[in-house]
Amino acid sequence: MKKRPLGQNFLVDLNAARRILELAGISPGEPVLEIGPGKGVLTGGLIERSGALTAIEIDPRLCAELTKRFGSNPGFRLLQADALKFDYSSLGPRFKVVSNLPYYAAVPILKRLVHYGARISDMTLMLQKEVADRLVAEPGSKAYGSLSVFVQYHCQVERLMEVGKNAFSPPPKVNSTVIRATPRVRPKVEVNDEKTFFSIVHAAFFHKRKMLKNNLKAWEKQFDLDRNKIHLAGIDLARRGETLSLEDFAAISNVIHSAND
């Protein structure tokens, strides 16, 4: 099969497209950003609902098709640009994001959008099911990892709908899921220093099968020994990182950060 380096699996199931448009909950006049409009299966409906759509598409051939189809509509602006590099602050103070993300770049694009979260009211995103599983994962589950902690720290994440491979042309190898991520006004947990928090989270998941006392060795000066058990911020370091909630990571991070102050 022809290689599709730009993740060009186009949604052809019009029921799924209609449901995504409904789930996005767009109010008339609300600015919307669509990343990767492709052949425009969502674009017409987005223009109709919002009347203020900006779309970013990297592929010049698709841009030409989209301009032909929607270019005369005053509620549509198309930018030929790379969503991985785009400066989203140029889009104005507040907008919604709706996208069937190119799967090869779903995680880095999502991370970039989270970075601009103060401007984004919410994001309705279709991505590969395996990534959606990681985004909504709870502590103790197989999919829970540093991506879950990062996204849940900054956003409230909900799983909205499953979409099978056959809804696309050509069908991708994996199933898809639509999620909604709503950036939080304040992070989910209070941390004294985000850099310390995320260094600990990354270290805790670095060797997933190892106990925290091994993964967090860099901070062993702060370990407490109590009746032959090693603790940090009251958390038993014989546990694995995958069992810790965001609150637990915040507790560890705040103890470490205040000790280093």
Q: Which of residues 11-70 bind ligand SAM (CB under 6 A)?
A: 11, 35-39, 41-42, 56-59, 62
Minimum Å gap between C-beta 230 and ligand SAM is: 45
Q: Which of residues 147-186 bind ligand SAM (CB under 6 A)?
A: none
Task: Say how many Å lie between the first and final Cα of the chain, rounded.
Answer: 57
- Residues near ligand SAM (CB under 6 A), total: 24
What is the separation of C-alpha 106 from the centre of its chain, rounded to a whole number of angstroms? 7
Separation between Cα atoms, residue 164 and residue 174, nearest integer Å? 8
Interface segment toward ligand SAM; rule CB under 6 A; list 7-15, 70-78, 114-122, 242-250: 7-15
Please give the angle made by the CA atoms of 50, 53 and 55, to the nearest 5 degrees: 150
What is the separation of C-alpha 62 from the centre of its chain, rounded to a whole number of angstroms? 25
Contact (Cβ atoms closer than 8 angstroms) between residue 203 and residue 239: no
Q: Which of residues 70-99 bind ligand SAM (CB under 6 A)?
A: 82-84
* CA count, 13 A, side-chain hemisphere, 63: 14
Minimum Å gap between C-beta 50 and ligand SAM is: 15
Minimum Å gap between C-beta 22 and ligand SAM is: 15
Q: Which of residues 95-154 bind ligand SAM (CB under 6 A)?
A: 100, 102, 105
Per-residue binder mask for ligand SAM (CB under 6 A), 206-245, x = binder: ----------------------------------------
| Closest residue to ligand SAM: CB criterion | 36
Compare residues 73 and 222 and give the one whose CB is closer to ligand SAM: 73
Minimum Å gap between C-beta 97 and ligand SAM is: 12
Separation between Cα atoms, residue 75 and residue 194, nearest integer Å? 39
Separation between Cα atoms, residue 88 and residue 259, nearest integer Å? 37
- Eight-state DSSP code of residue 84: T
Minimum Å gap between C-beta 49 and ligand SAM is: 15
Cα–Cα distances in angstroms (integers) from residue 234 to residues 143, 181, 196, 251, 254, in the given order: 25, 32, 18, 9, 12
Q: What is the contact surface with ligand SAM in residues (CB under 6 A)?
A: 6-11, 35-39, 41-42, 56-59, 62, 82-84, 100, 102, 105
